[in-house]
Amino acid sequence: MKLRHVVGTLLAVTTLGTSFVVGTVGITAQAKAQTVKVTETKMNGKRTITYNGQQYTPVQAVKLGLLSDNAVNAKENRWTYKLANVHVKRTKSGKSVKVTGKLVVTNIPLSVFTPAKQVQISTYTNVKFAPVTKKLTFSKVVKTTAKKVNVRAGYHGKVKGKSVFFVLSANKTFKVHAYK
């Protein structure tokens, strides 16, 4: 499997008083390059980066992939998404498990280039896929008697004519809770 990496380059820097408008382009092996526009403002000696109306500190911006700055001591996030609010609960019959949850974007440029379309739900017997909504939520009932479930986000693509699931989040294992 090829190692995915993002190469950021500076497109334009325009001075507007005390703020700078910065656009970066990212290139990945699976996606077309797109522009992400951020605004950098310096007021009273403090830097803030604005993207879609949200303000971030330089450390937060580097972690989200909005800014590539060697002066800021932060590591860019490897994963595009993080699983949050995942609930794995057995159904009333005891033969199935309902998996629900939400995805949180942890790397904005990568999420623009390669959005997650599905969540892979793995048990010891089978693998099922739950679609991701526009609000980044997912829900699926899986017929299994497993006590643990592995969940990860990603999308389907093709490599050399074969269908492959490209992973965009870390693998997380969840314990199945009893029906109440």
Is residue 60 a part of any domain in this protein? yes
Q: Is there a contact between 39 and 48 (Cβ–Cβ < 8 Å)? A: no
Residue 3 placed within a domain: no
Q: Among 29, 26, 27, 7, which Cα is nearest to 159's?
A: 29
Are both 60 and 91 inside the same structural domain? no
Same structural domain for residues 60 and 85? Answer: no
Q: Are residues 23 and 57 in the same domain?
A: yes
CB contact at 8 A, 88 and 174: yes
Domain shared by 165 and 98, yes or no? yes
65 CB-contact burial (10 Å; exposed 0-12 / middle 13-18 / buried 19+): buried
Same domain, 101 and 166: yes
Residue 70 lies in a domain: no
Say what the pLDDT of residue 111 is: 80
Please give the residue range of the domain that contains residue 171. 81-175
pLDDT (0 to 100) of residue 40: 79
Residue 74 domain-assigned?
A: no
Is 112 in the same domain as 146?
yes
The DSSP annotation for 57-119 comes to -HHHHHHHTS---TTS--PPPS-SEEEEEEEEEE-TTSSEEEEEEEEEES-HHHHHHS---EE
- Whether 97 is in a domain gets the answer yes
Domain check: are 59 and 91 in the same one?
no
Give per-10-residue mean pLDDT for the chain (180 aa): 31 35 39 63 81 81 71 66 94 94 86 88 92 95 94 92 90 92
* Tally of domains in the chain: 2
CATH classification of the domain holding 117 = 2.60.40
So what's the pLDDT on residue 24? 39
- Taking a C-beta distance cutoff of 8 angstroms, is the pair 61, 47 a contact? no
> What is the model's pLDDT at position 89?
95
In a domain, 72, yes or no: no
